[in-house]
Structure 1
Amino acid sequence: MKIERVHVNQALLPVVGGTYRLSQTEVEALDSTLVEVVTDDGRSGWGETCPLGPVYQPHHALGARAALAQIAPGLVGTAIDSPRALARRMDGLLAGHGYAKAALDTAVLDLLGQQLGVPVSTLLGGALVDRVPSYYSVTVGDPDTGARAAAEKVADGYRRIQLKVGGRDLQRDVETVRAVWDAVRGRARLAVDANRAMTAVHALQFDRLCADIPFTLEQPCATLEEMESLRGRLVHPVFLDENTEDVAAVLRAIAGGTADGFSFKVTRLGGPTRAAQARDLCALRSLPHTVDDAWGGDVIAAACVHLAATVDPRLLEGTWIAHDWIEGHVDDEHPVVVRDGHIAVPTAPGLGVRPDPTRMTRIATYD
């Protein structure tokens, strides 16, 4: 089975409700890139990468498509028998840009699963469960609105709530945390995510002001050096997110004891194949983590769920997908959705989703 051509497609994903707010940015629509890899035996494998705007992390949609234009022509004619061999080939064509390579890695796993008649989760080590827990993200807003949204989602079956904070008066964030905790206490776990918006001093102050509330504090500061400076000084457990730029960064954080857990993004780590390495590093130290991506539709959601299903359930904090924030699917017959706070693991060979090409716009073809 060899790569015959690569199609690069665009899908625009408007945010339900108008705006998704984080500490340092807000978005109203997301630009997703979907890759279709077609083989000489007529199979199609799909991958997706959808950065959360251009400033959430050093990824953006135009950058992904430029990287794919550099890589894809050099993959035509390449045999697909090993995702790791493909990763080496891609690294030989372009340094870095793991978030673009992730779409191709996902597509190749999809193809191999179809060829072997097994779901992608099997290729990643084997599913341990038939559904994975999801969690809901409450965006930056006023205390009452956040508490109301959290309570509604807990009633829908979510057992973990992530609350976005930062980019405003510290006391307002504290008020919101207390309101949300009052709304969910005893019924759901709470994670508070600052998305790098705090200085180390602000993180220490925030931690002390909320010392009586049990939550995990996710990525309060921008750099890994700042995060390392907080080690042993905080009451709350700390998760790293944006600093996990690759598997090497994960290894550094684990070796240095910087993090009590992680919020992993599959495309940031370079795709499911390399994200599975981060999973295994966490397993060695019994570190909890999520398996998510920044945004996207059914394709990247399916990839996340397949990998999440292979994580030791006691270490899996949940899988966030954009289901609650986007309308429609690229595969109406096999959509990846949250029901009762959980996501079913696709069982069909490959990813288990077959995107409808009419739901997207063809950008380029490399053959």
Structure 2
Amino acid sequence: MTIDRMQVRLTRWPLKMTRKHGVGDVADTLPGVVISLHTREGLIGWGEAAPWSVFSGTAEAAVAALDVYLRPLVIGRTAADRQRIMAEADRALVGHPEAKMALDMALHDLAGQQAGLPVAELLGGVVRDSIPLSVSIANPDFDADLDFARARLAEGVRLFKVKTGFSTHAEDMSRLERLAAILPADASLRIDYNQGLAAVDAIRTLRDVEAFRPAFIEQPVARDRRDAMVEITRAIDTPILADESVFSPEEAVDCARARYADAISIKLMKAGSFAKGKAIAAIASAAGMPCYGGTMYEAGIALTAGIHFAASTPAMTLGAEYYTSAFVLGTEILETPVRLADGASWLPTGPGLGIAVDEAALTSATVEARG
């Protein structure tokens, strides 16, 4: 089935709550990108990019990458060529992993629909039908976040990740103490600094937060301070999770060799393709490093792709953040949202990504469309 059209949409997602992180804040809205690949036979494959300017790239740059550089690689081709297309994408364009991931997502969605198989089956087969749901506590209105946590506890969620490093250490300790007080014994507390600590006193600070016995501490210092990550990993009893320090398989090899973390957060938006995400997971697994499913501020298309990835990847044992379209974004673009139940996100069973896009809702969120 030949692809004869690609549409690229710049979107604007309203947020239901303010979010603060060590690396930057989000108040009202975030841009995103949605693409669709159309075949002559009428099938549509969907993909999504979720850049964040303080983390990696911008949505506007992702739109240009897809519209100008990646579009010529797919028109007149079929989804069966997806591996060759993605190799050509890396030769045609340096960086822009979010744009490339959106393209790979849409190609896999088409291929799965054509084969009558879920994307997870195309990625190697299902090893789990659901992924334990990890939710982030990042609202500067901490009373509202405590209410959010209580609501999620009532729904069966047991993994809670507190965003730290955007305020004072004393405030971080207070927030951790207040959250820990409401968590049951079977809940897991995690801590994420989003690069928010200065390397000079990071170890002293982290020894304080270890009193809460977190399951892991994520990316305490800046991405390029891998020397400090090595020292922190050696000094701290709590496992250290690398996020911003590991985008690619090559960086995963460096992480495993230098042991600048004990575990890795795999975000498809960092990896740039399912294959590269799988490679990162394989490297981590060989090094005895479990993996966590991180996300950006993703709508339902990308979240569903993440679920297919985690459901087919044995190393993804630390849970995942596949929830933002339900609790954080103010727009739902799937006719049937990502299923969240019993403290987990669940794998769709239909062919391809197994989704139906609400095109009216998507149109309402669209700022610009090309193609």
Q: TM-score, normalization: structure 2? A: 0.91
> Which letter maps to 1:97?
H
Alignment-derived partner of residue 68 in structure 1: 66
CA distance in 1, matches of 2:204, 2:139: 19
1:215-255, Cα deviation, whole Å (9 max, x unpaired): 11100100233312323111211001111222211121122
> Which letter maps to 2:278?
A
Q: 1:15 to 1:337 in 2, by over 3 A?
A: farther
How far 1:142 moved relative to its partner? 6.3
| Paired residues of 1:45 and 1:108 also in contact (CA < 8 A) | yes
Alignment-derived partner of residue 117 in structure 1: 116
How far 1:81 moved relative to its partner? 1.2
How far 1:296 moved relative to its partner? 1.7
Alignment-derived partner of residue 332 in structure 2: 329
How far 1:213 moved relative to its partner? 1.9
| Paired residues of 1:288 and 1:317 also in contact (CA < 8 A) | no
| Identity of matched residues, % | 27
Number of positions where the alignment pairs a residue of Structure 1 with one of Structure 2: 362
> Which letter maps to 1:11?
T
| Paired residues of 1:346 and 1:352 also in contact (CA < 8 A) | yes
1:127-171, Cα deviation, whole Å (9 max, x unpaired): 122222111100053665554543432222111100001122112
CA distance in 1, matches of 2:284, 2:21: 27
Q: What does 1:41-120 align with in structure 2 at a 5 Å threshold?
A: 41-52=41-52, 54-55=53-54, 57-69=55-67, 70-120=69-119
Alignment-derived partner of residue 170 in structure 1: 169
Q: 1:76 to 1:142 in 2, by over 3 A?
A: closer
Tell me the secondary structure at the aligned position of residue 4 of structure 2: strand
How far 1:66 moved relative to its partner? 1.3
Alignment-derived partner of residue 158 in structure 2: 159
Structure 2: 5+ residue runs without aligned partners? none
> Which letter maps to 2:330?
E
Tell me the secondary structure at the aligned position of residue 4 of structure 1: strand
CA distance in 1, matches of 2:268, 2:330: 22
How far 1:182 moved relative to its partner? 2.2
1:171-202, Cα deviation, whole Å (9 max, x unpaired): 21122222222221513111100100101233
How far 1:315 moved relative to its partner? 2.2
Q: Which has the higher helix share?
A: 2
CA distance in 2, matches of 1:166, 1:292: 18
How far 1:280 moved relative to its partner? 1.9
Q: 1:307 aligns with which of 303, 306, 309?
A: 309
CA distance in 2, matches of 1:97, 1:310: 25
CA distance in 1, matches of 2:10, 2:77: 24
**Pair 1:363-2:368 in alignment:** yes
Q: 1:291 to 1:211 in 2, by over 3 A?
A: closer
**Pair 1:287-2:289 in alignment:** yes
Q: Which runs of 4+ in 1 moved over 4 A?
A: 142-148
CA distance in 2, matches of 1:206, 1:22: 17
CA distance in 1, matches of 2:20, 2:261: 25
Q: 1:314 to 1:139 in 2, by over 3 A?
A: closer
Q: 1:24 to 1:94 in 2, by over 3 A?
A: closer
| Paired residues of 2:195 and 2:219 also in contact (CA < 8 A) | yes
Alignment-derived partner of residue 11 in structure 1: 11
> Which letter maps to 2:2?
K
